[in-house]
Amino acid sequence: MRIRTSFLTVFASFAIAIVANAQTATPEPEPAPAPVPPTDLVVADTPDDAGNSVEVDWQLSGTDIFNPLNTDAKDTDPEQIVAVYQVERKVADGNGDVVSEEELNWRQVSESGAGESHWTDRSVKRGWAYDYRVCAVDNQGDKSPWCNAQGSVSPTMQMFNMSKAWLAIWMILFGAFIAYFINHARSGKKLWVRKIAGLEAIDEAVGRATEMGRPVLFVTGIQDINEIQTLAGLTVLSRVAKTAAEYGAQIEVPTCRSLVMAAARETVEAAYLAAGAPDAYQPDRIHYLTDEQFAFVAGVTGYMVREEPAACIYMGGFYAESLILAETGNHIGAIQVAGTAMPSQLPFFVASCDYTLIGEEFFAASAYLSGDPLQIGSLKGQDYGKFLSVLVLVIGIFFATIGSMTESDTDEGFGTSALDYISNNILGSEGLGSFGGGDTDIEGDDS
Amino acid sequence: MKRTVPLFIAIVAGFVLLIANFIPYAEGWGLTAQEWFNILAVGAMVLGGGNLIKLHLMKVSGQRKGWGYSGVTIVCFFGTIIIGMSKFGVHPNALYPDYAWSGYYLESGSGLWWIYQHMVVPLTSMMFAMLAFYVATAAFRAFRAKNTEATLLLVTAGVVLLGRTYAGVWLFEGWLPESMLWLRFDNLTVWIMDVPNTAGTRAITIGIALGVVATSLRILLGVDRSYLGQD
């Protein structure tokens, strides 16, 4: 009986202690405040595309320390600072296609870092309609309320890339000039083309090699066959090989790409055939060395030092190896002719070679050497294209001058607007746009 | 036929890629063409490698001048192929530990990696470093004041060279009046690079761009077929 009494006493005191403790316990801490949500979510079809992307833009959250409008960034509650933005998407209309359950519900499609207010969704299907929403998430994983886009967006395909409208106009104009002059030449009218000393020197160089009984070295650059400079180099090779075949000189063509070797062999073989010396053609003289830039240089310069070719001709795309090749050629006393469209390598060739074809001269070489009226006609068209470019430059300079004279703080003036249109639209990538229309609006013209 | 088919392929591929540049629907065609090109290039690589070996074997068998170097080339060629293909020193991929050859062929510490890091890279760097000496010899020749243009070039180069170093500032310290600071070499260098140099480069670039378009059109229209071995 006594034991039972003491047990009840202990139990009662224990129960009273628990209740008292419960009454005096500190209250549960309030949940950390969620970040301020991003605002103004705007979704739009990407202009000038095949209908496979959507542009998603929002205004940064007020507790994003990278938000330029958040002037009190230092005082932002650390628990509210935005870590990432989560973008969710769901299909609003499948355009008659079967849409999976997963696609019909909200699901996360992107997570952008703090300070980022733009994302391009490239996983959409053309013709479907999508809803988007975005929220800010802090470092604790607390999410802000969602910011929903106003209405759905449906990615659509544009028939023509309007941002390249001016490029198309230039190409048509330029093509028309060339076509006109090719036609003009076809009718038998003589076209005058200025003498290009570097190309005139090619015959002299091959002749010298023949007299000295040494080979002619021809390098087509280090680019592959899909580069226009290599093709331009091969067209010159055709003429050089024909001259070499006529003179009885040997031509050596080391290549840096296997496909270039195959193409160069065809070119040289046909040139020897055209010159009436098919037996003199030696395919092994057109050979592959290596794809590695400086290993190729080592191979070619080694050949130059050993065999001492009398003429070295470099026509194609070159990089840092240009000077090593040209200086080695200079050292062995070869007559050197170079042509490239790499502006950074031109000074090296000019310094080390006897003749250098600068940029457009290099591309004109094939037409010039062939003497074919049709090709010469294309050169004439190229000149008119250049005239047009100079005209645009002069007009641009004129408007820049007018703009700087008339511009005030409040009014940009006609000159500045015209200059902006020339640089951003005519020469830039903003398409036809509108005169004085300012920056491109990504939600703009979808036509 | 041997010339007509390649010409036809070149013209069709060229026009298709040109149109693809302006039509969003066809924007992926360029990538497809690039894939075709890569496949062709891989095939041609065998052709190139075969040609390389054939020429060097002929040189060794004929014991022609410098045949020893050809021997080294052949040994290196096959050595690299064997080490690379056998994945010598490559550990199996963690996902497929039972497959000895499942690792990445250029894994750090592997045989091919060693060849690349300790043979190819130093040799390439050595060739590149030689460029400095070639620049010096070319500059010596280019800057000789033979005529007015060469003298102008020499003076300009001198100003830019000094302007790129502290000497451009130091030479004028203490005596040049504030109003003449634009004459300091570092300031003149900025002007030379921004105005005459940029103008000249742009003129060349515009000419190149037009030349590229004209050459492309000549090839696309079949006017210029010399790259196929035709006049």
Least confident of A249-263, A430-444, B71-85: A430-444
- Give me the residue from B204, B213, B221 closest to A343, CB to CB: B204
Please, which residues have CB within 8 angstroms of residue A415's CB and are 6 or more apart in sequence?
A399, A400, A401, A402, A403, A404, A405, A406, A407
This model of the complex carries an ipTM of 0.88
What tokens does A166 get? 């001016």
CB contact under 8 A, B218 and A378: yes
Quote the pLDDT of residue B229.
Answer: 65
pLDDT beyond 90 at B42:
no
Hey, is A129 helix, strand or coil? strand
On whether both B37 and B67 belong to a single domain, the answer is yes
Single residue among B77, B110, B131 that ends a domain in this structure: B131
Q: In whole angstroms, how far apart are CA A434 and each of A162, A414, A422, A430, A437?
A: 12, 13, 11, 10, 5
The residue in chain A having the minimum alpha-carbon distance to the alpha carbon of residue B125 is: A294
The residues, ordered by sequence, that sit 6+ positions from B80 with a Cβ below 8 Å of its Cβ are: B112, B115
Structural domain span for residue B89: 4-131
**Residue A40: phi, psi to the nearest 5?**
50, 55
Helix (H, G, I), strand (E, B) or coil at A213: coil
Which H or E element spans position A333?
A: none
Within 8 A of B213 by CB-CB distance, chain A residues are 171, 174, 382, 385
B17 and B127 co-located in one domain: yes
Confidence band of A2 (pLDDT split at 50, 70, 90):
low
Q: A36 falls in which pLDDT band (50, 70, 90)? A: very high
Question: B219 or A267: whose pLDDT is higher?
Answer: A267
Render pLDDT for A87-139 as a digit per residue (tens, 0 to 9): 999 999 998 999 999 999 999 999 999 999 999 999 999 999 999 999 999 99
State the pLDDT confidence band at A329, using cuts at 50, 70 and 90.
very high
The minimal CB distance from A343 to the residues B45, B135, B205 is found for: B205
Domain shared by B18 and B122, yes or no: yes
Sheet with strand A54-59: strands edge to edge:
A39-45, A54-59, A118-121
- Contact between chains at B24 and A289 (C-beta distance less than 8 A): no
Total count of domains within chain B: 2
CB-CB neighbors (< 8 A) of B73 in chain A: none
More confident residue, A331 or A71: A331
As a whole number, mean pLDDT of residues A58-76 equals 86
Q: pLDDT value at position B30?
A: 83
- With contacts defined as CB-CB under 8 Å, which chain B residues touch A379? 214
pLDDT above 60 for A4: no
Query: A21 pLDDT band (50/70/90 cuts)?
Result: low
Q: Which residue from A266, A293, A382 is facing B210, i.e. has the nearest CB?
A: A382
Is B212 a residue whose pLDDT tops 50?
yes
Please say which residue of B131, B154, B170 terminates a domain. B131
Regarding whether B137 and B119 lie in a shared domain, the answer is: no
- Which of these three, B131, B146, B163, is where a domain ends? B131
Beta-carbon contacts of A424 under 8 Å, excluding residues fewer than 6 positions away, are: A430, A433, A439, A440
- pLDDT at site B147: 86
- Of A249-263, A268-282, A425-439, B109-123, give the lowest mean pLDDT range: A425-439
Residues B164 and B143 in one domain: yes
Separation between Cα atoms, residue A420 and residue A437, nearest integer Å:
9
Nearest to B77 by CA among A295, A307, A253, A252: A295
Q: How high is the mean pLDDT of chain A?
A: 87
Q: Given CB atoms, is A53 within the 8 Å cutoff of chain B?
A: no
CB contact under 8 A, B24 and A158: yes
| pLDDT at A440 (0 to 100) | 43
Tell me the pLDDT tens digit for each residue of A186-222.
888 888 888 888 888 999 999 999 999 999 999 999 9
pLDDT at site B194? 95
Residue A304 token pair:
């130059």
Of B23, B128, B226, the CB nearest to A320: B128
Residues of B in contact with A292 (CB under 8 A): 120, 124
- Examine the domain organization and report whether B49 and B77 are in the same domain: yes
- Report yes or no: A219 and A289 within 8 Å, Cβ to Cβ: no
Per-range mean pLDDT, top range of A138-147, A410-419, B36-45: A138-147
Q: Is residue A316 within 8 Å of A223, Cβ to Cβ?
A: yes
Q: Do B40 and A259 touch (CB under 8 A)?
A: yes
The model's pLDDT over B96-107, given as tens digits with 9 standing for 90+, comes to: 988 888 899 889
Whole-number pLDDT of residue B101: 84
Tens of pLDDT, residues A231-241: 999 989 998 99
For the residues A384-412, what does the mean pLDDT come to?
83
Q: What is the pLDDT of residues B107-140, one digit of tens each?
A: 999 999 999 999 999 999 999 999 999 999 888 8
Average per-residue pLDDT for chain B: 89
Min mean pLDDT across A67-76, A155-164, A420-429 is at: A67-76
Helix (H, G, I), strand (E, B) or coil at A290: coil
C-beta atoms of B51 and A287 within 8 A = yes
Of chain B, the percentage scoring pLDDT greater than 90 comes to: 46
Same-domain check for residues B96 and B110: yes
- At residue A175 the predicted structure's pLDDT band, cuts being 50, 70 and 90, is confident
Q: Domains in chain A and their CATH numbers?
A: 39-148 (2.60.40.10), 191-371 (3.40.50)
- Identify the band that residue B210 occupies on the pLDDT scale cut at 50, 70 and 90: confident
Same domain, B29 and B81: yes
pLDDT confidence bin for A9, thresholds 50/70/90 = low
Tell me, yes or no, whether B97 and B174 share the same domain.
Answer: no
Residue A37 CB neighbours (<10 A)? 22
Say if B65 is an interface residue toward chain A (CB within 8 Å): yes
Rounded Cα gap, residues B31 and A188, in angstroms: 42
Asked whether residue B231 carries a pLDDT value surpassing 80, the answer given is no
Element (H, E) at A49: none
Q: Label residues B177-198 b or e (16+ Cβ within 10 Å = b).
A: eeeeeeebbbebbeebeeeeee
Residue A9 touches chain B, beta carbons under 8 Å: no
B77 and B154 share one domain: no
Provide, for chain A, the percentages of residues in helix, strand and coil under a 3-state DSSP scheme, each rounded to the nearest 5: 45, 20, 35
Quick one: pLDDT at residue A275? Answer: 92
Is residue B210 located within the same domain as residue B197? yes
pLDDT for A443: 39
Q: Are residues B85 and B122 in the same domain?
A: yes
Tell whether the model's pLDDT for residue A22 goes beyond 80: no
Pick B138's closest partner by Cβ from A287, A327, A366: A327
* Contacting A residues, span 343-372, partner chain B, CB-CB under 8 Å: 343, 346, 348, 350-352, 358-360, 362-364, 366-367, 370, 372
* Percentage of the residues of chain B whose pLDDT score is greater than 70: 98
For A370, which residue in chain B has the nearest alpha carbon?
A: B231
A-B contacts (CB, under 8 Å): 203
